[in-house]
């Protein structure tokens, strides 16, 4: 649904535009139909610039992209017609009612039955009762819901969500996340930028970690695995040196660390290794109390990647 090849954006900066800022450097990625793709990166990484390019709002300096089957730079109006864009700031017409705000955008997107579309999304997002109120009186969460409705009013198959839960209270953020899950279940393709790694982990099929250039791209689980490997912790009632020697005979085990009564073992395939380890430990007289896998959070993966990138740049 979205495919970019060496997509690059360079801004001219300085008073006379004599300096250059490479906001997006040769981005190549593919987002598949029905996928929720998380685009993660620190502030100023170029995430919004990327989304603006992919929605036909700004021109790439070089490279190419296809969005919803249309060529970026040639069919920008068609791209805008076929995608929905939730901007970082809701940007509503504050003096106008919720209903009027939505109907304006429904008309601009050439929705055939404006009234039905407006009513549908006002009801779906719980704004029906407030449809005649001016948006200026809405809470931040309500504005964000309305902005989501605006991005969906023309039923696009691709949605770009720029920080969809940024600045929302936990309750409102939960509502928006729930709605994104609903959209995912409807089979829509979602390209989402976020700082919220917990949110990305819950919602995204794949994530791209980005800082000017794409640092990595995979599912959260595979990124964790590629960076930290898999580690299993065995809690024993009592620790003896002989236990470590005993499991040392098992092939394909990684590093073994001992911390108090715990053995932390790096393994390639815990499903195969764990029964063998337990068997050897029991044979050596160990009493195994608990076994668990150490899971690195996406946050740890993200920080490791971004820090490595920053060290590389320095």
Partner 1 sequence: MKHILTIIRKEWSEVFKNRWVIATMTLVPLLFTAMPLITLATTGTGSTGGAEMSGLPGDLSASCPGMTAGECIQVYVLNQFMLLFMIMPLMIPTTIAAYSIVGEKTTRSLEPLLATPITTVELLAGKGLAAVIPGILISYGAFGIFVLGSSLLGLSPAVMGYILSPTWLLGILALGPILSVISAIFAIYISSRVSDPRVAEQLSGMVVMPLLMVMFAVMAGKLVLNISFMLITIVVCAIAAIGMLYLGTLIFDRENILTKWK
Interface ranges with partner 1 (CB under 8 A):
11, 52, 55-59, 77-78, 80-81, 85, 87, 89-96, 100, 104-105, 107-110, 147, 150-151
CB of 146 to partner 1, least distance (A): 11
Nearer to partner 1, 156 or 220 (CB): 156
Query: What strand order describes the sheet that includes 62-67?
Result: 19-31, 2-13, 62-67, 70-71
Extended beta strands in 14-61, E state = 19-31, 36-40
Which residue in 84, 90, 87 sits closest to 67, CA to CA?
Answer: 84
CB of 129 to partner 1, least distance (A): 21
Q: Give 23 or 236: the residue with its C-beta nearer to partner 1.
A: 23
When the beta carbons of 30 and 76 are compared against partner 1, the nearer one is: 76
Give min distance, CB of 58 to partner 1, in A: 4
Closest CB 33 distance from partner 1, rounded Å: 21
Q: How far apart are CA 213 and CA 6, in angstroms?
A: 10
Closest CB to partner 1 among residues 146, 197: 146
In whole angstroms, give the CA distance from residue 302 to residue 194. 12
Cα(212)–Cα(210) distance, integer angstroms: 6
What are the residue ranges of helices labelled H in the chain?
Answer: 47-54, 76-82, 98-108, 114-124, 140-152, 170-185, 197-203, 220-228, 241-247, 270-283, 298-313
Residue 69 or 285 having the CB closest to partner 1: 69
Shortest CB 119 distance to partner 1, Å: 18
């Amino acid at each position: 649904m979205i495919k970019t090849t060496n997509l690059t954006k360079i801004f001219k900066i300085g008073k006379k535009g004599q300096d250059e800022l490479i906001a997006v450097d040769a981005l190549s990625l593919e987002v598949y139909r029905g996928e929720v793709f998380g685009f993660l990166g620190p502030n100023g990484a170029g995430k919004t610039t990327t989304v603006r390019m992919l929605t036909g709002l700004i021109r790439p300096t070089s490279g190419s992209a296809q969005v919803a089957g249309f060529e970026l730079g040639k069919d920008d109006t068609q791209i805008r017609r076929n995608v929905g864009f939730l901007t970082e700031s809701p940007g509503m017409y504050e003096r106008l009612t919720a209903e009027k705000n939505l109907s304006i955008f429904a008309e601009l997107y050439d929705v055939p039955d404006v009234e039905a579309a407006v009513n549908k999304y006002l009801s779906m997002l719980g704004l029906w009762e407030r449809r005649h109120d001016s948006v200026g009186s809405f809470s931040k969460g309500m504005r964000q819901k309305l902005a989501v409705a605006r991005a969906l009013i023309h039923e696009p198959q691709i949605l770009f969500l720029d920080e969809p839960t940024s600045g929302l209270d936990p309750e409102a953020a939960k509502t928006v996340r729930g709605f994104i899950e609903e959209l995912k279940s409807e089979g829509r393709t979602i390209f989402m930028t976020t700082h919220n790694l917990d949110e990305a982990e819950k919602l995204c099929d794949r994530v791209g970690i980005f800082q000017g250039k794409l640092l990595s791209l995979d599912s959260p689980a595979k990124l964790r695995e590629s960076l930290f490997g898999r580690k299993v912790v065995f809690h024993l009632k009592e620790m003896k040196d002989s236990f470590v020697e005993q499991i040392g005979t098992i092939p394909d085990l990684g590093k073994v660390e001992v911390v108090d009564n715990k053995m932390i073992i790096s393994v390639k395939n815990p499903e195969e290794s764990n029964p063998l380890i337990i068997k050897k430990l029991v044979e050596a007289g160990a009493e195994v109390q608990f076994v668990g896998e150490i899971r690195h959070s996406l946050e740890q993966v993200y920080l490791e990647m971004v820090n490595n990138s920053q060290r590389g740049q320095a």
